[in-house]
Amino acid sequence: MPGTPTARYAYFGPEGTFTEQALRTLPAAGRAVLEPLPTITAALDAVRAGDADAAMVPIENSVEGAVSTTLDALATGDPLMVLREVLLPVRFVLCARSGTALADVRTVASHPHALAQCRGWMSATLPQADVVPAASTAAAAQAVAQDAAFDAAISSPLAADRYALEVLADGIGDVRDAVTRFVLVGRPGGAPLPTGHDRTTVVAYIADDHPGALLEVLTEFAVRGVNLTRIESRPTGERLGRYCFSIDAEGHVDDARVGEALMGLRRVCADVRFLGSYPRADAARPGTAPDDAGFRDAQAWLARVREGRTT
Amino acid sequence: MPGTPTARYAYFGPEGTFTEQALRTLPAAGRAVLEPLPTITAALDAVRAGDADAAMVPIENSVEGAVSTTLDALATGDPLMVLREVLLPVRFVLCARSGTALADVRTVASHPHALAQCRGWMSATLPQADVVPAASTAAAAQAVAQDAAFDAAISSPLAADRYALEVLADGIGDVRDAVTRFVLVGRPGGAPLPTGHDRTTVVAYIADDHPGALLEVLTEFAVRGVNLTRIESRPTGERLGRYCFSIDAEGHVDDARVGEALMGLRRVCADVRFLGSYPRADAARPGTAPDDAGFRDAQAWLARVREGRTT
Amino acid sequence: MPGTPTARYAYFGPEGTFTEQALRTLPAAGRAVLEPLPTITAALDAVRAGDADAAMVPIENSVEGAVSTTLDALATGDPLMVLREVLLPVRFVLCARSGTALADVRTVASHPHALAQCRGWMSATLPQADVVPAASTAAAAQAVAQDAAFDAAISSPLAADRYALEVLADGIGDVRDAVTRFVLVGRPGGAPLPTGHDRTTVVAYIADDHPGALLEVLTEFAVRGVNLTRIESRPTGERLGRYCFSIDAEGHVDDARVGEALMGLRRVCADVRFLGSYPRADAARPGTAPDDAGFRDAQAWLARVREGRTT
Amino acid sequence: MPGTPTARYAYFGPEGTFTEQALRTLPAAGRAVLEPLPTITAALDAVRAGDADAAMVPIENSVEGAVSTTLDALATGDPLMVLREVLLPVRFVLCARSGTALADVRTVASHPHALAQCRGWMSATLPQADVVPAASTAAAAQAVAQDAAFDAAISSPLAADRYALEVLADGIGDVRDAVTRFVLVGRPGGAPLPTGHDRTTVVAYIADDHPGALLEVLTEFAVRGVNLTRIESRPTGERLGRYCFSIDAEGHVDDARVGEALMGLRRVCADVRFLGSYPRADAARPGTAPDDAGFRDAQAWLARVREGRTT
């Protein structure tokens, strides 16, 4: 539309990362300026500073687990809000400068998570190769393209293509069906409207160092029938044994049951940071949408009782 | 006030019962017509039929436990609502027609609960006497006054006086400091306003015969920090193992925490009958009034979050 | 067998009570001396004194609920142990001296529980009749047989027969399928062997007056998957709000899961009185016998781990 | 002692890592052969293969959280057992080849966790420097010593010394009092004897994908009064939302309460891997040792009850 400013999306780069792939699955990305930034923190800080409207970052991988940097960057600093999530199957390739044969590969660069996910293939195929950590899989591909210091990179097919590398082996991840979950993060504001298949992300800071704290937190959700799909403890940095919890729950903050559970969380915790309610990328799973009818019925009943009725 | 109709209060009679004593502790009883009725059920039905504005009945005794008839009559039939509670120390006397000596007593009439509470004194003092159940302690005194079939009655001092009997022994209850709790019951309508020291009474019908039902019910209260002061299981009459629960909780239905707990109860139960919120007769106990500030803070926080804030 | 002393069983009498009927369902009762005693307490005390080998008493009715006298007599005094349970359908008759017509009945005697269970039939059929409480249904029948003071009794068919009364109306209870549960109580000693369909009865005294006590008690059972079939709060007699809990649980004290739950109960309670493990009278219900295999597996696993294994 | 084979301890190397520092705090390390291995996995596999008697690896950092590689390597593969834990304050230095001035530093190598922990100092002092990930802080120091590709490393003081580097800045971590916890891991066998101040580590695999699983796991510990000091969810690698839990609990597997909690865990989980009971390095904290007396009393009581007693 003429006059509408073009949206600017930052992402964890450089070009060719899985994160860029995830961002490009969003229709809105086709009309936006996409800017790669060298770290997750840089991408999120660009949103905080107003240099980007939103940022795409990885949050969780089915093999390697939580992306701590993302969790910690969302839990601290100026508030941000998750607007969307994207699930991306992860496919690794070994790529090298044109003319390199598999037998010639002596050094392989990649992000530590990617190296970990291809460990089995590497020991079977390139047992003698040195592995070198890189800041991202795409940074590894870029380094191979620019510099003869490394013979090959483990990266996404997109990165191989972007840096004009040749694919020596495809699908080399040890776990078939590995998936990474990415989130599009913006500045606080109204959450996306409920769709009936939503997820809510919060960070809960435990009031004091009492052993039953996590049990209390879980009970607040369980009593309202709110399922949790992810829970991570993260150190607050103060000392061992001092944690906060990063939590994904089914449902939307506007759902009665989720609202009541969050109020309960707020009461038993020292602090709660709301990180957003947004549509689930795996919404198609049947039977997972919690029904709010029981909550609405109970609210109507309480209103009647408070006006003098008995049932 | 001229033109104001005089209030009519029914009570579990006949004249001279502990229930009448309890009713007379209420200032309003001094300006009202008080009508004794022969059974608890009759007193409550008089309220249902509009023949009385309210009825005083016993609900719980510190020695004998719950008064099942009252619990069952409140749990079924047209809805009623508890408006007030009264705690009355229980003092038993043995009384007889003038001229009767303690040594002459062969038969003693009283209500089964009173007989049970004086069992120790009876076996020590009148081990040979026959005990005969009566519909109330006052009915026993009345029977002794009218009929030579019984030699003596165990009753309240008030009944001995009312039926012109002579007190042969005073304070014959086995348990010092026995207390009975009475409730003044009216037709549904707005509950008394919160005083900060209130009690709420409900009946919870379990959804189906699942073993964890009571645990769920208790959890709904515990999660909101609402203390229970009484819980009784009562058969629904259908078969062994099928129960409802009669529950007294601290707090008022207008308190946020109590309202939320009652909504939770409503969700996990097949049915909930609200029986009233009313001032506690033992309100003086310090530190028992739950604080609603945490609930109000959480509600304000949720409202902010739903409008787009994060904390 | 020659030389074997004949067993002596006390029961809550007089002759003709439902309790006698329940006792006579036991094969062993056919070879024993059966002695009616006037009160539940007297029957249990006969066992304590060694005057009877065991006593049959009612403990629970599907319409009227717990028999408080029995619960309290088992919870206090010298220890006793439940050896068996009997379920008996309850059938009430209105019976009178020969020649009495239904239209002539002006006064009806019975036990208060029986009167309560026939209230509907009475108001429909004999709305003008005076009801008079008696110590038991059989005592009411006996009184009618001996004395013209009462016109009719509500009792068991057995009592009508025993006291040569004529049945004016049969099956007059308001609730079809009413059932009473009776227990045969002896002195402590080895519980009956596990049958796979057992029940365990205990009394739990709460440590101090803390609100969450019942929740803790229930949790000890729930965590081990032990279902409760009855739970009654009973006042300890000290003051309002001070309770013990009378509990029936599925399973036998020798079952691993029940043993562990009872140990848990012991830890969280001020005192626990074990009242016996005995075969369920309703054992035929399929699927209710808890499986101990998981507990045995876990014990074997722990033993391995303590010896230095990891799984 | 003559004839006693010298113990061989592997550790996460190369020489100069914080892990080597932790290992050297153990008196036994002074008499042993210490072998650096390039990865955590390699160190643990050396134990599995019998090439080392035990291995020291990092497991948790007060700033960066769990060391996923260690958790995952302990949770899978041939069983291992934790024998000891060591807490080590973490002190970072910036070190370079002799003659390098702080102003000359353009590239800084270190382990990603160390880079993360010095981010604040780096942006304040060397905002333009490129950061390069290395396999360990000591590997970074080694690389700086051997190769002009990097100007400086963030490492331990020990590594700076070992690789003859000059310390340009000391104590550059953003969080004062950062601590890393290390564990000494051996092959399964009898756990160290209870000291009264022990920790137990297990991995719990959830039976199926049911939302309340973690709540159940926590309840098994809470009901027995066993405190948890760490809980981490780790993906099983199958798909998003499928987890196991790595758990540290207070107490020793030989403690009654811990044994019972572990049996409970075993019952509600698909699998439990026991990873050891060992003395806490922070044993001095008063009041944290749970008392086993209540458990022993309950066991003695149950034994009496099973033999026919009631209390």
Q: How confident is the model at residue B98 (pLDDT cuts 50, 70, 90)?
A: very high
Q: Which of B189, B298, B311 sits opposite A308 (nearest CB)?
A: B189
**pLDDT tens digits, residue range D10-29?**
999 999 999 999 999 999 99
Is D214 close to A231, i.e. CB distance below 8 A? yes
Q: Which of D220, D273, D309 sits opposite C310 (nearest CB)?
A: D273
Minimum distance, in Å, between the CA of residue B311 and any CA atom of chain A: 5
The mean per-residue pLDDT over the stretch D81-102 comes to 96
Does an interface of 3+ CB pairs under 8 Å exist between A and D?
yes
How far is the C-alpha of C117 from the C-alpha of C123, rounded, in Å? 12
Question: Which of C90, C108, C215, C229 to mutate to test binding with chain B, by most B CBs within 10 Å of its CB?
Answer: C215
**Which pLDDT belongs to residue C288?**
47
Could you give all domains of chain D from N- to C-terminal order, each with its CATH number?
1-89+183-189 (3.40.190.10), 93-170 (3.40.190.10), 190-311 (3.30.70.260)
The mean per-residue pLDDT over the stretch A286-308 comes to 79
Minimum distance, in Å, between the CA of residue A235 and any CA atom of chain D: 5
Spell out the alpha helix ranges (H) of chain B: 18-24, 40-48, 68-75, 112-117, 119-125, 137-146, 157-162, 213-223, 256-268, 293-306
More confident residue, C289 or A62: A62
Q: What whole-number percentage of chain D has pLDDT above 90?
A: 67
**Which pLDDT belongs to residue D284?**
55
Q: What whole-number percentage of chain A has pLDDT above 70?
A: 95
Question: Does B207 score more than 60 pLDDT?
Answer: yes
Residues on chain D touching C224 (C-beta within 8 angstroms): 264
More confident residue, B242 or D159: D159
Half-sphere exposure of A20 (CA within 13 A, CB side): 22
How far is the C-alpha of C37 from the C-alpha of C50, rounded, in Å? 14
- Mean pLDDT of all residues belonging to chain D: 90
Question: In this structure, what token pair is assigned to residue B303?
Answer: 């409202």
**Which pLDDT belongs to residue A290?**
53
**Which pLDDT belongs to residue C3?**
63
SS3 content of chain D, % helix, strand, coil (to 5): 30, 30, 40
Is B272 close to A302, i.e. CB distance below 8 A? no
The mean per-residue pLDDT over the stretch A92-106 comes to 95
Closest listed residue to residue C186, CA positions, set C7, C24, C13:
C7
Residues on chain B touching A191 (C-beta within 8 angstroms): 306, 308
**Which pLDDT belongs to residue A3?**
63
**Which pLDDT belongs to residue C286?**
45
Question: Does D285 score more than 60 pLDDT?
Answer: no
Burial of D148 (0-12, 13-18, 19+ CB in 10 A): exposed
**pLDDT tens digits, residue range B100-128?**
999 999 999 998 889 989 989 999 999 99
More confident residue, A311 or A224: A224
**pLDDT tens digits, residue range C241-284?**
778 999 999 999 999 999 999 999 999 998 999 999 999 998 75
Residue B279 phi, psi dihedral angles, 5° rounding: -65, 140
Q: Cα A86 vs. chain centroid, distance in angstroms?
A: 8
Question: Does B30 score more than 70 pLDDT?
Answer: yes
Q: What whole-number percentage of chain B has pLDDT above 90?
A: 67
- The helix/strand count (H/E) of chain D reads as 10, 15
The mean per-residue pLDDT over the stretch D261-279 comes to 94
SS3 of C67-103: CHHHHHHHHCCCCCEEEEEEEEECCCEEEECCCCCHH
Q: Determine the residue of chain D that is closest to A229 in CA distance.
A: D241
Question: Does B187 score more than 80 pLDDT?
Answer: yes
**pLDDT tens digits, residue range B252-270?**
999 999 999 999 999 999 8
Question: Does D294 score more than 80 pLDDT?
Answer: yes
Region of poorest pLDDT, from A60-64, A93-97, C13-17, D210-214: D210-214
Most confident of A154-163, A298-307, B232-241: A154-163
Classified as helix, coil or strand, C209 is coil
Q: What is the dihedral of CA B10, B14, B16, B18, to 10 degrees?
A: -60
Question: In this structure, what token pair is assigned to residue B137?
Answer: 């302690």
How far is the C-alpha of D36 from the C-alpha of D57, rounded, in Å? 11
Q: What whole-number percentage of chain C has pLDDT above 70?
A: 95
Rg for chain C, CA atoms, rounded:
22
Question: Does D165 score more than 80 pLDDT?
Answer: yes
Report the predicted TM-score, pTM, of the whole model to 2 decimal places: 0.89
**pLDDT tens digits, residue range C73-86?**
999 999 999 999 99
- Mean pLDDT of all residues belonging to chain C: 90
Q: Angle at the Cα of C69 (from C67 to C75), degrees rounded to 5?
A: 105
**Which pLDDT belongs to residue D286?**
46
Cis peptide before D286 (omega within 30 of 0): no
Q: Which of C41, C64, C241 sits opposite B68 (nearest CB)?
A: C64
